[in-house]
Chain A
Amino acid sequence: MFGYMGKILRVNLTENRITEERLEENIARAFLGGRGLGAKILFDELAPGIDPLSPENKLVVAAGVVTGIPFAGNCRYVIMGKSPLTNIWGETNASGFFGPELRFAGFDAIVFEGKAERPVYLWVHNGEAQLRDASHLWGKVTGETEELIKRELQDDRIRIASIGPGGENLVRYACVLSDFHHANGRTGMGAVMGAKNLKAIAVRGTLKIPLADRDRIAELCKQASKEVWEGAYKDLLHKYGSDGDLDDLHATGRLPTKNFQKCTFEQYENITGETMAETILVRRDPCFACPIACNQVVAAQEPYVVDPAYGGPEYESAAALGSTCMNGDLVAVAKANELCNKYSLDTISTGVTIAFAMECYEKGLLTKADTDGIELTWGNHQAIIQLVEKIAKREGIGDLLAEGVKRAAEKIGRGAEAFAIHIKGQEVPMHEPRGKKGVGLAYATSNRGACHLQAEHDDFFEDPSWLFPEIGLDKTIDRLDMGRDKARMVKILGDFKALYDSLSVCMYASWPEGGVRVQTIKDIVAAATGWDVTLAELMTVGERAFNLCRAFNVREGVSRKDDVLPARLMEPLPEGLYQGQAIPKEQFEQMLDYYYEFRGWDKETGIPTEEKLEELGLGYVTAKLKTSRQSK
Chain B
Amino acid sequence: MKLTVGFYCGLARRLSKETEAEVEVHEGATLRDVCAALAKKFPAFLGQLIVPGTHDLVEPHFFNVNGSRAANLDVTVQEGDRILLMAITAGG
User: Which A positions have Cβ atoms within 8 angstroms of B?
Assistant: 232-233, 242, 244-252, 254, 272, 274, 314-316, 431, 439, 452-453, 455-457, 459-460, 462-464, 466, 476, 478, 507-508, 513, 577
Contact = CB atoms under 8 A, between A and B. Distances in A.
A453 B13 CA distance: 28
Contacts of B60: 232-233
Q: Which of A232, A250, A251, A431 has the most CB of B within 10 A?
A: A251
B53 interface: no
A247 B13 CA distance: 9
A274 B11 CA distance: 10
Contact of A274 (B14, B59, B69): B14
Contact of A459 (B13, B19, B59, B89): B89
B82 to A, nearest CB: 11
Contacts of A459: 88-90
A452 B91 contact: yes
Contacts of B83: none
Given A250-B10, A251-B8, A463 B62 contact: yes
A453 B8 contact: no
Nearest to A577: B8
B68 A478 contact: yes
B86 interface: yes
Nearest 8 A/B pairs, CB to CB:
A247-B10, A457-B91, A459-B88, A232-B59, A462-B69, A248-B89, A242-B92, A513-B90
A462 B71 CA distance: 9
A550 B10 CA distance: 38
8 contacts: A242-B92, A244-B10, A247-B11, A248-B87, A439-B91, A456-B91, A460-B90, A478-B69
The size bracket of the interface on B is 20 to 34
Contacts of B89: 245, 248-249, 252, 254, 457, 459
Contacts of B9: 247-248, 251-252
A242 B90 contact: yes
Contacts of A439: 91
A252 B14 contact: no
B45 interface: no
Nearest to A250: B10
Contact of A457 (B19, B62, B90): B90
Contacts, number: 80
Contacts of A314: 92
Contacts of B86: 248, 252
Contacts of A233: 60, 90
B89 to A, nearest CB: 5
A455 B92 CA distance: 10
A315 B71 contact: no
Given A245-B89, A456-B91, 16 more contacts: A232-B88, A245-B92, A248-B10, A314-B92, A316-B92, A439-B91, A452-B92, A453-B92, A455-B91, A460-B90, A463-B62, A463-B69, A507-B92, A513-B90, A577-B8, A577-B84
Interface in B37-92: 59-60, 62, 68-69, 71, 84, 86-92
Given A233-B60, A272-B10, A315 B92 contact: yes
Contacts of A508: 90, 92
A139 to B, nearest CB: 33
A476 B13 CA distance: 27
A453 B91 contact: yes
Contacts of B14: 247, 274
Contacts of B87: 248
A251 B91 contact: no
A455 B68 CA distance: 22
A319 to B, nearest CB: 12
Nearest to A247: B10
Nearest to A507: B92
Nearest to A274: B14
Nearest to B84: A577
B40 to A, nearest CB: 22
B10, B69, B89 — most chain A CB neighbours (10 Å): B89
Contacts of B91: 431, 439, 452-453, 455-457, 507, 513
B88 A460 contact: yes
A248 B10 CA distance: 5
Nearest to A269: B14
A431 B13 CA distance: 21
Nearest to A457: B91
A279 to B, nearest CB: 14
Contacts of B62: 463
Nearest to A514: B90
A464 B71 contact: yes
A615 to B, nearest CB: 29
Nearest to A512: B90
A251 B13 contact: yes
B92 A513 contact: yes
A577 B67 CA distance: 11
Interface centre among A252, A272, A513 (most CB of B within 10 A): A252
A315 B10 CA distance: 14
Contacts of B84: 577
A457 B58 CA distance: 20
A526 to B, nearest CB: 27
